[in-house]
Amino acid sequence: MTAVSPSALFRERPVLADWFYRLARLFALSLVFIFPLEAVTAAREIAVVGMVLFLVAYLVARGNLDLRPTVLFWPLFFYVVCAVFSLFTAVDMAYTLKELRGEVLKGLLIFYGGVHLILEEENLEQFWGMILVGLVVMAVAGVVLFFQQGGSLFNHAVRAGSLHSGYGTLGTYLVLVWPFLLLAPLVWNAPWAKAAWVALIACSGLVAYVTYNRAAWLTMVLQAALCLIMVSRHRLRMSLIMLAAGVLAVGMLLAAPGSRHGENWSMLLKDPLKTGGTAGDLIAAWRHSWRQIKKDPFLGIGLGRHSFSKAYPEFRRTHQPLLWHAHNTFVDLTLQLGVQGLIAILLIMGVLVWALWPHSPPQGGQTAVAFGAAAAAMVIGFCVRNLFDDFFVDDTGMMFWLLAGLALGGRELLRRRA
């Protein structure tokens, strides 16, 4: 009896390959919705495994793997090399190895899963729609829970966390999805859709405000400006207008109730360490980190935010409990991986923006171009928001990788058509 290869067997049953693809896409769509839901970690892991397994089965079933390395292949390769190298200088090798599997390897699987799931522009519409459905749930739940918990519009004693793990992760989630909301009319422009769009912008803006997360506020203003610039035919003129409007908007936000978290801003230039409040804590962590980086710029303490506490127990003992890492993604990665790690992540972010930024205003019906434009604003916003904390991990990090992968999958689709 002649043995039959799995690929030959599936080629005789193309319907199986189609079902594998549909199942992989279904798991990926569910990920978009459940990433910000704190209480469903098991479902999240099942969805990741389901997406990867069925996508691999689909590629094998076609008999043609047709892998898409994308423009990020070499920056990602460099990043992985830096992460692996940090194992040998890590303060806790076992912990760093765990983080390497849980953050880097999983992130790559999710990213390339997103890249290979886009076969038609209709696929991007489905993911975009699921992003908006998830935002509706998070925004409405955020407002309702905030007021149920006794929140006020005039102070930050209670801060909205919605169904996420807290105000920091909720603010980061909003930064990830905000550009997709702002550019949604490029895909859906019916009268009912416009009314729903305005309502969701208002609700999302309110829940962003009651996080009292100033980094999220500033970032969402920046992203709104970027989206207006991208859709404008006169980008230089719009950039100048947005610069003036952005300064005004930032000034209004920083004067709003709840915008001060114990800081004495008059000390910022005189003696930054005496600024106090959240800003003073960040300055203390950054100064300490800079001193450590100068000692051994190319020798990291090992991948993982908890490496900071393991490497610098004296700093942890003498500072407030929230300062258990550097509270800046780029500073954290420089400490963890060395300067080479910083270069790697800057390359990844820079190449993503370069590849996805639209050369001309996206038009209605150009879903892949519009999705890429929203993703470009998302990447820039994600970087700015993470200058003041480190959420390039866990659910927010994984959602970043998935959205970036989907956007590059759309870019690859356009390239092949051309």
Query: What is the DSSP track for 356-389?
Result: HS-SS---TT-HHHHHHHHHHHHHHHHHHHTTSS
Q: Encoding tokens for residue 69?
A: 């390395």
- pLDDT at site 253: 78
- pLDDT at site 274: 66
pLDDT above 90 as % of the chain: 73
Q: Measured between alpha carbons, how far is 328 from 138 in angstroms, rounded to an integer?
A: 25
pLDDT digits (tens, 9 = 90+) for 183-210: 999 999 888 899 999 999 999 999 999 9
Q: Measured between alpha carbons, how far is 118 from 109 in angstroms, rounded to an integer?
A: 15
pLDDT digits (tens, 9 = 90+) for 107-131: 999 999 999 999 999 999 999 999 9
First to last CA, the chain: 46
Q: Measured between alpha carbons, how far is 383 from 406 in angstroms, rounded to an integer?
A: 18
pLDDT above 70 as % of the chain: 93
Residue appearing with tokens 């992130």: 107
Residue 299 has pLDDT above 80, yes or no: yes
Residue 267 has pLDDT above 70, yes or no: no
pLDDT digits (tens, 9 = 90+) for 60-87: 888 777 889 999 999 999 999 999 999 9
Burial of 4 (0-12, 13-18, 19+ CB in 10 A): exposed
- 95: confidence class by pLDDT, cuts 50, 70, 90: very high
pLDDT digits (tens, 9 = 90+) for 345-389: 999 999 999 999 999 999 878 999 999 999 999 999 999 999 999
Question: Which residues, 6 or more positions from 157, have their beta carbon under 8 angstroms from its beta carbon?
Answer: 151
**Average pLDDT of 17-34?**
95
Residue 163 has pLDDT above 80, yes or no: yes
pLDDT digits (tens, 9 = 90+) for 220-235: 999 999 999 999 988 8
